[in-house]
Structure 1
């Protein structure tokens, strides 16, 4: 049985072409990407040890080994952080650590007060599962307009992968889906595993499972929305971690003047004219 760490190392190895690292192309091979022997040589470890890591038979590599793999794969800073995180949770599972508490659903009063100060802007508090725990009226006007908030317990991850309206709301749906799948790795792993097994994976289908196991570190660029009003919105995102609660406060800011004007129209719709009936 594999591990998140092994899956990530194998996925990155498969995605790298030898010439990108200045290595000779050895010709046709059965699978794409970098050979195990090339990666092992670059990391200074044996092919047998790399195989054990990728297959999940070694779940607790040392910090120097993890750093050597990061160097050998030429990982970007965000990917290095993710690799270290996966090594930590993989080692924790192996050591049989205490079951993590489920993610909190209550929001601190001071955070709620911060949301009120952000009105009528666009902001929300979520957890790593994608539960929308609190939001401003601006969030309801924009991301909630296409049905995201129609359930008693709105969840952005479930919405993205199971509601057809999400593919219309997010023109860059693939990027948003990668973000939501990636963030699931950052929550309490046992709680995530149970939620995925019992609720999300059966209805989200194989596309979701494939994205989860690819460990694609998202770009998190400008978020584009095709709002039901007909406006194309472009939003910057600033996310503040609420580490003690494993929650995030995300504020959405207009990325251009056209978006700013469209948001103003949403907040202050023009009054409809009355028609005289003869």
Structure 2
């Protein structure tokens, strides 16, 4: 039986073309990507040891081996953080089957004031589970008609996978679905994320469960919204992680082109509310 750590290393190895590392093309293979022997050589570990890691038979590699694998796979900063998280989860540092305490929905007053100062920008506070905890009136304007904010405690992940309107609203639904599923690896705690995934899986089905074991971070691309009245809106996203919170972050959506900027100005002429914190 594999482990998240082994699955990640194998998936990353399979995604790398040998030529990108200056290795010769050795002809057709049964599996794509970098050979296990080539990765082991780059990491200066034995092929047997690498096999044990990938197959889940070694669950606690040393920090030196983890760093060597990260270097050998040319991981970026986000992928290195994810690799270290998977090591902790695989070796049993995070476990538990009992339903955990839900993450706090409280947003610090200073964060709420920061969001208020961002008006009339499009911004919201969320956590890695996808809870929408506070937002500007600009965010409410952009999301109006999508269905996301119609529930008492809106959750972007649940909306993406269970509300049919999401597939129309998000022009690149597959990309957004990949992002939301991947974010669950970094939830407030492993126990909380596992509970959330178990609760959502029966409702969301295979589109959700099929993404849970994908360990490669999705590529970062502009967010495209097919707005019901403003048509296509394109956004660049800035995500600011908030310290000392339950994996909360402040996300700001910035118009990616003039068409989007003009469309948002038209939306702002409509009646709208101010900052809203969702308890």
TM band (smaller chain): 0.7 to 0.9
CA distance in 1, matches of 2:18, 2:257: 40
Alignment of 1:126-275 (within 5 A): 126-187=126-187, 188-197=189-198, 199-245=199-245, 246-269=247-270
Range moving further from structure 2, 63-72 or 214-223: 214-223
SS in 1 for 2:10: helix
Task: Give, in whole Å, the separation in 2 of the partners of 1:90 and 1:210.
Answer: 20
Tell me, what secondary structure is at the counterpart of 1:214? coil
Runs of 4+ with >4 A deviation: 94-97
**Matched position secondary structure for 2:254:** strand
1:40-189 matches, within 5 Å, as: 40-91=40-91, 93-94=92-93, 102-187=102-187, 188-189=189-190
Which ranges in structure 1 are unaligned for 5 or more consecutive residues? 271-278
Q: Tell which has more relative contact order, 1 or 2 (C-alpha 8 A, sep 6+).
A: 2
Give, in angstroms, the shift of residue 101 of structure 1: 5.4
Residue 52 to residue 233, structure 1, CA distance change in 2 (3 Å): same
Q: Provide, for residues 96-140 of structure 1, a one-character-per-residue CA deviation record: whole Å limited to 9, x for no partner.
A: 69x975422111122222222222221111111001111112111
Quickly say closer, same or farther: Cα 1:265–1:150, change in 2 above 3 A: same
Distance across 2 between alignment mates of 1:94 and 1:263: 46
Q: Greater CA radius of gyration, 1 or 2?
A: 1
Q: Secondary structure at the match of 1:243?
A: coil
Partner-residue secondary structure (3-state), 1:37: helix
Q: What's the secondary structure of 1:212's corresponding residue? A: coil
Alpha-carbon RMSD across the aligned residues, in angstroms, is 2.2
After TM superposition, the score normalised by the length of structure 1 is 0.87
**Aligned-pair CA distance for 1:94:** 4.4
Relative to the length of structure 2, the TM-score reads 0.87
